[in-house]
Structure formats: C-alpha cells, structure tokens
Structure 1
Amino acid sequence: MSKAVRAVALVLGALWTAPNTVIGLLGGVAGLACGAQVHWRPRDLALVFDRWPWGPGGAITFGNVILHTGDALDVVCSTYAQRAAPCADPDIVLADHERAHVFQYMALGPLFLPLYLLCGGVSVRNRFERAADRYAMTGRGWWPWP
C-alpha cells in the first residue's frame, strides 16, 4: 500500500470512529483533573491518558483514545486466555493489545461498541479481545473475524 493510500485510509478511519474518540476524550479530560497525564503515541495512532484514576486497572480504548491506569502503556501483561486458565500463550505488551483495538475501532467506527458488547464485552470469549491478544503476540490478526 502506498504512503498516500495509507494516509487517506488512516484519516478516513479516524473520522469514521470520531464518535467513539469523543467518548474517550471526555473520559480522558475528566481524568486530567485527578492527575492523569496525556500524550500522543504515533505508533498506536492514539492519544493516551496514563494514570487515569478510575477502573480496576489496565487500559480501555475508545476510538483513537486509550485510557490507561498505569504509568506507561509499554508494560508486559497476561492475555485474556492466560487469566481464564493455564495456557501456553506468551505474555504480551499492553500497548500492542490496545493498538489492535484502535485498528478495530477505525475499521468498524460506530459499529464497534455494539458489536463488542454483543460478542461478550470484557471476556476471554470475546472475539475482539482474542484478536487483540493474537495481534499483541504476533503483530498480525487484529481483525476479529477469520
């Protein structure tokens, strides 16, 4: 894919998921008042709010925004399958997992959240989470349907 075509695809994807990005921005801005820190991560195509003060820990993505409760997104973590039961999956980097969700949002736009919830929400059974883990392990396969 040429650089020009890729650039157009990224802009269209960002516009398509803009309603989701607004949700993330609202949450992120609210977190700033409680100590969150914001920065742009070009590789992840996302505005990241580190030290986001709410939630059980980890990260959640809304469009091109990642809300992260830790100090840095480049941390090693377990896959959903590892948390569900002993398995042979290697650990992953959280940033890679969340980048897959950014790609999913950019492809599906406003359809992402309803489809994600219909597939089980935050769960090892959710095809979106399995695809994000696969992408984090291999660098390929962020699309949730084979």
Structure 2
Amino acid sequence: MLLGIAWTLPNSLLGLLAGAAGLAFGAHAHLNRRECAIVFHRWPWGPGGALTLGNVILHTGDTLDANCVTYAHRAGLCEEPEIMLGDHERAHVYQYMVLGPLFLPLYLLCGGVSVRNRFERAADRYAHTGRGWWPWPA
C-alpha cells in the first residue's frame, strides 16, 4: 500500500492543491482510512459528486456514504441499483495506486468522464460487488 501511495504522489499533490484552494470557500478535509484517501468535503467547484486525484477525493457533498446511480444507468443503457459514492471513488484510488502517473493519460484515452470509460465501468462494478476495480480483464 505504501508503494502505491508513493507511486501516485504526483496525482495526490494535484488533489491536495485543488483541495487546499477549496478550503477558503468552505471545504473541509479529513483522512478517510476506508477510502485510503484525504477527502475534501463541500468542495465548491464542479457539477456535483466527486473527483479522485491519487489518494485525494474532492467531494461537493457532506458524506461519501451517499447513494448515486451508475454511469450506465445515467446514460439510459440499463436499469441498475444505486451504488455508494465512496465505494466508487475507492475503486479509483486503487486504480491510481497501481497506475500512478499513468492513470490520468490512460483515463483520458479511455474516454474521460463517460459511460464508455473502462475505469468508470470498473469503479461501478466494484461499488456493486466489492470486486473488479481493475479496468482490464484479468
């Protein structure tokens, strides 16, 4: 785990800078051991939800223990039960810890914030089952 945290440190530093900027606008931070991340709640920018950068989660709400719909459900591709936002974001933390500085370029190459993105589908799968956060077949 420590190796993964060190490997994704450049991404985490971006998250810490963004999170620190939000502190002046009402955001607050705490260490969330379950998510393996520093979480900035009430982060003041974005359309809502959360953004993960390394071991940092920028969240516009008050708690990651909130229900949300999957990307496939939101896109109208299928009906799926709601998932927990924290579980989805934890999958991204794991993805970052394995891929480190490669995560962001690969994420963007796979389609960015979209139902087509294998990283988002894997995070939704993990939030449903507790398994399968890796975006490529084993």
Q: How far 1:131 moved relative to its partner? A: 0.1
Match of 2:4 in 1: 13
Aligned residue among 97, 104, 119 for 1:128: 119
Displacement, 1:90? 1.3
2:14 is aligned with 1:28: no
**Percent of aligned pairs sharing the same letter:** 73
Structure 1: runs of 5+ lacking an equivalent = 1-9
Q: Which has the larger radius of gyration?
A: 1
TM-score (norm 1): 0.93
Counting matched residue pairs gives 137
- TM-score normalised per structure 2: 0.98
Deviations 1:65-108 (A, max 9, x none): 00000011110000000100052321100000000000000000
Higher helix share: 1
Partner of 1:100: 91
Q: Which runs of 5+ in 2 are unaligned?
A: none
Q: How far apart are the structure 1 equivalents of 2:81 and 2:122? A: 15
RMSD of aligned alpha carbons:
0.6
Q: CA deviation at 1:62?
A: 0.2
Partner deviation per Cα, 1:52-74 (whole Å, 9 max, x = no partner): 00000000000000000001111
| d(CA) in 2 for partners of 1:111, 1:86 | 29
